[in-house]
């Protein structure tokens, strides 16, 4: 999955950029209180992308 597509999905679910890391960006969902690192690679493994989406969108 392309990184920009993943970020679009996360932002549609209400996630916000918490901070920039060295190799990852940290996204936070204020509704569930969950935070997850998102790698800065152009292509992100499908399984990893699904895990990030699931972790940030489920309470």
Q: Comparing C-alpha atoms, which of 37, 3, 42 is closest to residue 21?
A: 37
pTM reported for the whole predicted model: 0.91
Q: Comparing C-alpha atoms, which of 12, 59, 6 is closest to residue 34?
A: 59
Mind listing the domains of the chain with CATH numbers? 3-57 (3.30.920)
Task: List, for residues 2-59, the tens digit of each pLDDT value.
Answer: 999 999 999 999 999 999 999 999 999 999 999 999 999 999 999 999 999 999 998 6
Task: List, for residues 9-21, the tens digit of each pLDDT value.
Answer: 999 999 999 999 9
DSSP structural state of residue 43: B
């Amino acid at each position: 999955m392309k990184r920009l597509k993943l970020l679009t999905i996360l932002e549609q679910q209400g996630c916000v950029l918490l901070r920039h890391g060295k190799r990852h960006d940290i996204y936070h969902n204020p509704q569930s209180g969950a935070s997850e690192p998102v790698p800065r690679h152009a292509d992100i493994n499908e399984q990893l992308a699904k895990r990030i989406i699931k972790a940030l969108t489920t309470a």
